Amino acid sequence: MEYFNWILAFHVMSFISWMAALFYLPRLFVYHTENADNKGFVEVVKIQEYKLIKYIGTPAMWATIFSGLYMLYLNPAFLHERWMDVKLATAFLLFIYHISLEVHRKKLLENPKYKPGKFYRFYNEVPTILMIIIVIMVVVKPF
């Protein structure tokens, strides 16, 4: 099981990439919404949103999920740890958040003023809270 640490390293790198996308996409939504009258700017932001979620966020999400599942397969004892239950539940919420960002992106294509910029500023805090919980569960293992 020497390669477990290599899988773990890949998992951490994938998670970092996924989080980068989750942190930045709502910020693009703020720019999209608050500059709805500037058509040229909005067209550029639409391209950035699409590329961020399709070429970085979603592949990083799947890499994180599959590498995490593979580590659980290699070490199923983790499934009997309470901290892992919390981590997996929180990771599932992060997955749902990711899906919601794609829904918001598509709605913004139809209506650039779908939600106000303040909404996306607040919504941008969700992955931060979830990431804090995940890191605490993995590093501190409080349960």
Residues listed for the chain: 143
SS3 39: helix
| pLDDT averaged over every residue in the chain | 96
Say what the pLDDT of residue 113 is. Answer: 87
Amino acid identity of residue 113, one-letter, is K
Say what the pLDDT of residue 132 is. Answer: 97
Predicted confidence (pLDDT) at residue 2 exceeds the cutoff of 90: no
> 62-119: per-residue pLDDT in tens?
999 999 999 999 999 999 999 999 999 999 999 999 999 999 999 999 998 889 999 9
**pTM metric for this prediction:** 0.93
**In 10 A of CB 22, how many CB atoms?**
24
